[in-house]
Structure 1
Amino acid sequence: MSGNSNTALFSPDDVGVANGNYFGLPFSPAEAELVLLSAPWDVTVSYNPGTAAGPQAIIDASTQVELRDAHYPEGWRRGIATAETDPWIAPASERLRKRAEEVIAHLETGGSTTDAAVAAALAEVNAGSEKLNEIVFTQAASLLTAGRTVGLVGGDHSTPLGLMRAVADSLAKRGEAFGILHIDAHADLREAYEGFACSHASIMYNALRLPRLSKLVQVGIRDFCGAEAALAADSGGRVVQFDDYTLARNAFEGLDWSTQCSAIIEQLPENVYVSFDIDGLSPDNCPGTGTPVPGGLSYREAVYLLAKLADSGRRIVGFDLVEVAPSNDDGEWNANVGARMLYKLCNLTLKTRI
């Protein structure tokens, strides 16, 4: 993908070049401070599939992004590279999605995850999801060991678990803890949703079992079940939720966004992993995403929160951007928004690691 780059001849003001890399940047992983992994995977999506096409759609749209970022104008010079995507992922996603649909259809007609009729499909999907986690973990761990910062582009929200594990292990070796800033419409705290142990709806349930994760701070959530609410309430303050209704009510009653962002950031430790599900934004920003929900953050509110986090003295130790799905009805809008949010995440992450 990146191959032998020629950064000396690269001009950020030229027309973006479709070279297979995010933002058309010329860096190889060996040259860059930050490396992006792609996970074209949407096996366990429970509503509309399509996020497996997200990484390529974002790459295609990203050449239209101006490289001078308002928060870190020359950040790109530190190197943002695109790693090779493991060739197993995309075809396995397509194959296993069909198996997952068998399970979902069975459940939607009154069946159970314990029924023999879906046992083989469930086992196959869960084994495939574990293999994806191992692929991402291995790739991320190697990059982290080499001193790179790593971000992941999904794919559905199950995809970053391997990266989270790698970040947790890397920090644990240094005796450091971390927190997750989770921007999403959904709490994703379900246990083995629909029988899928690594479901997109279970990512934060699984993340809470990682070593050294001290705090999960959820922002913008507005669609969650009673079991998820109970898990958060019984977490002893380890899970803190700034739900969409409360954020909106506070704004309606005169509490400004800056003050609300400060309250969110105060809950986070020094090391922060950002997990950004695009459906945390209002649906006009992501109409093609798998499970859109009314409400949510505006693009500007999300950027302000991330910028304020970067300016707080905390360090972003990794991130993911997930659930972007291209849509024929909206041209490149979904990927356009996704590419710009991805670039903001890249630059703000680098800014915290000066």
Structure 2
Amino acid sequence: MVSNVAVSLIGVPTDIGAGHRGARLGPEALRIAGLPEALAARGVDVRDCGNLDGPVNPWSAPVDGYRHLDEVVAWNRLLMQATRRELEAGRLPVMLGGDHCLGVGSITAVADWCRQQGKQLRVLWLDAHSDFNTSAVTPSGNVHGMPVACLCGLGPKVLTHLGQHSPALQPAQVRQIGIRSVDPEEKRLIKQHQVDVYDMRYIDENGMKRTMQAALAGVDANTHLHVSFDVDFLDPQIAPGVGTTVPGGVNYREAQLVMEMIADTGLMGSLDIVELNPLLDHHNRTAELAVDLVESLFGKSTLMRD
């Protein structure tokens, strides 16, 4: 279980990498839904670092296959630096997004930190999408579809070389869970780079317990678990407040089991919460569900378990 942990909330209010307006409102929606208070009630030392202040979203067309690349880089650099500061202070950074392009900044910081500390890194990517696109295979140019590829060295140099090492990650360090929407050319890249994907068919056939056991296989006391939680991981019937809904997602009980099994390891060292779009939500219920699930990541359970 996660215990005696010091958490720093880092708001990143931008939809710079997305195709819909609204994810920039996600940090405030999570605060309004009571995230700081919920964690504090669990005995967590919570520090809200406020929001980072980056460039506004110009909502312009793609240039050379990327939309808003300069602004995406600026936001990710700010987040990388903020994440690194909190890690160096011995705190667990929780990124309140914002869209999923921000995973480049947070995970680059975590990867550099793990190298320095001699720890192995395992990234759990909870998402409807693999986010393994490149400019060559995505027509939209939206960078929120590219962060895993960028972290693995596929993408523009300004993102693949954001941190101290490139690539920040090897595909073998990533486990993707809940995937159910992958572009045709993206499928080829995933197969070529042998990304470990537990899609909804795998979950249907094996159940979430066996899925998580497989995704967590090989972690040990020297492992830093980074959880990158895209709210569209959840089925849109329970989590409508996202810009890219894909039916047939993870249900409430499955999602709780995912979070509880991660909490059971006691190894989570950093967290992203992304793609929450309050403009598309109903009475902030998606944000409230996200807070409920994050509580489980920090040890909430029905019974006292050993």
The equivalent residue for 1:38 is 11
Whole-angstrom CA distance in 2 between matches of 1:328 and 1:306:
24
Q: Is this contact kept in 2: 1:61–1:332, CA < 8 A?
A: yes
Tell me if 1:201 matches 2:145.
Answer: yes
Corresponding residue SS for 2:124:
strand
Q: Is this contact kept in 1: 2:16–2:71, CA < 8 A?
A: no
CA-to-aligned-CA distance 1:93-116 (integer Å, 9 cap, x gap): 3x42x22xx34xxxxxxxxx55xx
Whole-angstrom CA distance in 2 between matches of 1:150 and 1:144:
7
- CA gap 1:343/1:194 in 2 versus in 1, 3 angstroms: farther
Whole-angstrom CA distance in 2 between matches of 1:187 and 1:67:
29
Shift of 1:297: 0.6
Q: Is this contact kept in 2: 1:184–1:218, CA < 8 A?
A: yes
The equivalent residue for 1:227 is 185
Corresponding residue SS for 1:284:
coil
Corresponding residue SS for 1:285:
coil
Letter in 2 for 1:190: N
Shift of 1:33: 1.1
Q: Is this contact kept in 1: 2:5–2:92, CA < 8 A?
A: no
Q: Is this contact kept in 1: 2:151–2:169, CA < 8 A?
A: no
Whole-angstrom CA distance in 2 between matches of 1:63 and 1:195:
33
Shift of 1:54: 0.9
Letter in 1 for 2:92: T
Gaps of 5+ in 2: 154-166, 301-306
Aligned residues: 279
Q: Is this contact kept in 2: 1:217–1:268, CA < 8 A?
A: no
Letter in 2 for 1:234: Q
Letter in 1 for 2:252: Y
The equivalent residue for 1:276 is 229
Which structure has the larger Rg over C-alpha atoms? 1
Q: What's the Cα RMSD here?
A: 2.7
CA-to-aligned-CA distance 1:267-319 (integer Å, 9 cap, x gap): 65732211110001000122120100001111221221221133246x11211
The equivalent residue for 1:247 is 203
Whole-angstrom CA distance in 2 between matches of 1:184 and 1:234:
20
Q: Is this contact kept in 2: 1:179–1:272, CA < 8 A?
A: yes
322-331 or 217-226, which deviates more: 322-331
Corresponding residue SS for 1:83:
strand
TM-score by length of 2: 0.81
Q: Percent identity?
A: 24
Which of 215, 235, 239 aligns to 1:286? It is 239
Which of 191, 215, 218 aligns to 1:264? It is 215
- CA gap 1:132/1:331 in 2 versus in 1, 3 angstroms: same
The equivalent residue for 2:164 is none
The equivalent residue for 2:45 is 79
Shift of 1:199: 0.6
TM-score by length of 1: 0.71
Q: Is this contact kept in 1: 2:240–2:281, CA < 8 A?
A: no
Q: Is this contact kept in 2: 1:61–1:335, CA < 8 A?
A: yes
- CA gap 1:341/1:306 in 2 versus in 1, 3 angstroms: closer
Which of 229, 237, 250 aligns to 1:297? It is 250
Letter in 1 for 2:145: A
Tell me if 1:142 matches 2:64.
Answer: no
Corresponding residue SS for 1:80:
strand
Which of 94, 99, 104 aligns to 1:151? It is 94
Which of 295, 298, 306 aligns to 1:343? It is 295
The equivalent residue for 1:52 is 24
Whole-angstrom CA distance in 2 between matches of 1:130 and 1:329:
28
- CA gap 1:56/1:203 in 2 versus in 1, 3 angstroms: same
CA-to-aligned-CA distance 1:59-85 (integer Å, 9 cap, x gap): 1121797569xxxxx7x3230221121
Shift of 1:256: 4.2
Shift of 1:216: 1.0
